[in-house]
Amino acid sequence: MTKAQLTLAQVQQRILQLEGRQDELEVYLRNQLGLAADQPMDVTPEELPGAAEQEGANLIAMAAQSNTRLMAAESDVKGKELRLKGEKQGYWPTLQLVDDLRCAG
């Protein structure tokens, strides 16, 4: 799994967690705005402007760099890649040719 795939999976997981809290967040928003429970409220998502979206991407990149679990996963992947490389090299036998250049005379 690459770093990008892991980051994408973490972001998707966080989105699903937040979507599951929609009712809880609506109650919180109603309380903050002082709206009654029976008063209709329509929340519509909006696209972020380009600069804000880019800033969000930068924040995600910075968070990924400082995430210890992500660093541990990267280290684990590198270790497994090195082990695989070593095992592949050990798969084929090596052949050593030695030439004795001493004169028999």
Domain boundaries, the chain: 3-78
Return averaged pLDDT per consecutive 10 residues of the chain, 105 residues in all: 76 76 79 84 69 69 78 88 86 74 62
Phi/psi of residue 47, each to 5°? -75, 140
Whole-number Cα distances in Å, 63 to 27, 52, 59, 67: 29, 16, 6, 6
pLDDT of the residue at 14: 79
Is residue 28 classed as helix, strand or coil in its secondary structure? Answer: helix
**Per-residue tokens: 36:** 């009654």
pLDDT of the residue at 78: 92
pLDDT of the residue at 80: 92
pLDDT of the residue at 53: 62
pLDDT of the residue at 61: 76
Taking the model in full, what pTM does it have? 0.33
Q: Using CA atoms, how far apart are residues 8 and 14, in angstroms rounded to an integer?
A: 10
Q: How many CB atoms lie within 10 A of CB 99?
A: 4
Q: Maximum Cα–Cα distance for the chain, whole Å? A: 110
